[in-house]
Structure 1
């Protein structure tokens, strides 16, 4: 009885030992498989460094002062239009000329009337002077002298009237030539030769001195951070145009809660009026948290970074980013100094993925 019982006990013990050894092997194999399937990543530390504080905002490039030019007389035909869009003009240069034959005739008639009035005035003055000498010798009556005095005064008044009429005719003649009120660039032409124009109608546009500016609308919380004199950088067509804020509106719009800033562009380069560009406003320098730009992942319209927990799993954190300079991006919120974030491999991670840290980001870069 005892022998069969002993053999059964030994058999059970052997089976238990075999089962235990097999379990350990399976667990080791599972751990090895999990380690081999983990994504290799490198980490970088969130650091604090001094960086220029900037505000990013988009806005249009506009003319600092765009003049709308027209003529002051109506019903005349355009006979000459020597300028075109994009042409630089000088102050006083003729931009447009109207048919002035009728105006020339009126001016010549006014000149003749003035000469006639001046001749009558000279005659009346000489008659009065001669009569004054005779009256002093009591050779003519006082009433005759008074009459000659009145003739002289009347002649002087007629001369003044004729001179005013001549000046008016000359002014109308001058109105037939549209001249540039200042140096500048022709930005628009709304008339063609042969066209009959009306007074007060816009015919040409002139950008005074060719001067451009950049305008941007800022919400009130950002508007308080900018000031006159701040530098503005506008990247465009492979180059960066630098400007300086000239003015900031003293208040904000009650409806949109935004204010406007105006930045002078002394050297606009290839920028043209109407171009819409994103500008970087440099408001100063200060300490900010930064990390490698490659660590930031864009998903669902937001910015994220990944950290690694104690279980070697990826944990996603949403962050708010600032400017990027030389491969590093400012982080405004979401992480703290000293945090370790995934750099290489971040774009392939999801929440809870197993990872395997292989190197520091700097070492991996080398």
Structure 2
């Protein structure tokens, strides 16, 4: 009986020991599973860095001076149109020709009338000079000399009239050729060969010197920060087009409370007139609290960052961001220098998620 009791006690002790060992193993397994389920993240520190003060604003690219070209005579047919949109032209180059046969005839007639008047003037001059010599010898009367003098003056007036008529005919003939008033780029063509045109109708557009500018509307609080000469950067198609502010409106619109800036673009390629692009106006040097741009998460129309608390859980913070330069974004509100934020893995986090802090390369690899 005693031996049986001893055996039973031994079995109970062994069972208790096995149960205790099993509990420790389960706890260890649960802890390991929890650690493996935590999302690996990397951290970065918010710090003050030199950063140029800029103003971000969007606006259109336009021609600095776009000239609307037309002819000054009416009812003539277009016979030649040697230029097309996008073509570079030189000052004085013929852009369009009208039917000038009638104008050529009028000019020839005016030339003939002028030659006839000049011949009459020369004859009147010679008659007067001969008569003046005779009058000195008292061979003709003074009244006859006066008549010859009047005839000479009348002939001179007729010559002047004929010359003016010839010049007018030549001017009308010149109007049949529309010439480029300056070097530039043809930006629009509104006429076709064979079309009968009227005076004052726009036929072509010319961007003077091919010069473009960028215009932007700024609210009054930002307009006070910019000045003539500030650099402008326009990122587009993988390139950055550089310019400089040429003019700033002296006041603001009473309705919109905005003002306009005009920036010259010395080398605008690849920008074209009519494009609407976002630009950065550099207003000066300064410092900003920055974090990597990858740490910022956009949700519900707001910007957030995540930190890691003592329990290795993600904590979400709303921030107000500024400009972004070279992968760094300025933080205007919501953080202070020295705060650590999640970079790699931030986009997958939610409030209270378990995280595991690792090196940046490991988090990115995961």
TM range (shorter): 0.7 to 0.9
In structure 2, the partner of 1:141 is 141
TM-score by length of 2: 0.87
Shift in CA distance, 27/362, structure 1 to aligned 2, threshold 3 Å? closer
1: CA distance, partners of 2:33 / 2:94: 86
In structure 2, the partner of 1:291 is 291
TM-score by length of 1: 0.87
2: CA distance, partners of 1:292 / 1:203: 54
Q: Structure 2: which 5+ runs fail to align?
A: 1-19
In structure 1, the partner of 2:358 is 359
Deviations 1:118-138 (A, max 9, x none): 111111111111111111122
Deviations 1:323-364 (A, max 9, x none): 2233221112221111121222211222333434x2365886
Q: Say if 2:93 is the partner of 1:115.
A: no
2: CA distance, partners of 1:202 / 1:36: 74
Q: Say if 2:233 is the partner of 1:240.
A: no
The 10-residue stretch of structure 1 (184-193 or 339-348) with the greater mean CA deviation from structure 2: 339-348
8 A contact 1:44–1:360 mirrored in 2: no
| 1:79 CA drift (Å) | 0.6
Kindly report the root-mean-square deviation, in angstroms, between the aligned alpha carbons of the 2 structures.
2.5
| 1:303 CA drift (Å) | 1.1
In structure 2, the partner of 1:98 is 98
| 1:312 CA drift (Å) | 3.9
| 1:164 CA drift (Å) | 0.6
8 A contact 2:71–2:176 mirrored in 1: yes
The 10-residue stretch of structure 1 (310-319 or 68-77) with the greater mean CA deviation from structure 2: 310-319
Query: Equivalences for 1:58-137 in 2 at 5 Å?
Result: 58-137=58-137
In structure 2, the partner of 1:6 is none
| 1:42 CA drift (Å) | 2.6
| 1:296 CA drift (Å) | 0.5
Q: Say if 2:173 is the partner of 1:173.
A: yes
Query: Equivalences for 1:190-339 in 2 at 5 Å?
Result: 190-339=190-339
Q: Structure 1: which 5+ runs fail to align?
A: 1-20
2: CA distance, partners of 1:362 / 1:43: 11
8 A contact 1:52–1:285 mirrored in 2: yes
| 1:30 CA drift (Å) | 7.9
2: CA distance, partners of 1:291 / 1:362: 17
1: CA distance, partners of 2:251 / 2:160: 54
8 A contact 2:303–2:318 mirrored in 1: yes
Q: How many residues align?
A: 346
| 1:277 CA drift (Å) | 1.4
| 1:238 CA drift (Å) | 2.1
Shift in CA distance, 364/352, structure 1 to aligned 2, threshold 3 Å? closer
Q: Say if 2:349 is the partner of 1:344.
A: no
